[in-house]
Amino acid sequence: MIAPNQLTDPTVRAFVTAVNAGDRSAFSALLAPDATMSDDGSDREVAQWAEKEIWSANGHMDVVSESDGGLALVVDYRNDTWGEMRTAWRFVTDSGRVSRFETGQA
């Protein structure tokens, strides 16, 4: 596993740290105003998805590996709804904010 504070990209590092800390404010502050995301190839509304998959379900990211300068992660993701699954995450960042992220089973 890669500790969140060892992740290469500072924006992705902050994203993982916010998720794992259950810090909604830090998570929201990282998102660009028009941020988008997809889950298993289907676009979702970020706030609704985060509420269901992260906040109300105690989501947690254990990073297995990173690539593409830290913008692509393989993560053992767990939450109270789905249990644990290996997931892939890709991030598009701009000026320290996430403009898009994509996740899905790896």
The predicted-structure confidence for 36-48, as pLDDT tens digits, reads as follows 999 999 999 999 9
- CA proximity to 71, closest of 38, 101, 47: 101
User: Which parts of 1-106 fold into alpha helices (H)?
Assistant: 10-21, 24-30, 46-50
Q: Measured in Å, how far apart are the chain's first and last C-alpha atoms?
A: 16
pTM to 2 decimals? 0.96
Cα–Cα distance for residue pair 29/46, rounded to 1 Å = 13
**In the prediction, which pLDDT does 58 show?**
97
What residue ranges define each of the domains in the chain, with the CATH number in brackets?
Answer: 4-105 (3.10.450.50)
Cα–Cα distance for residue pair 91/81, rounded to 1 Å = 24
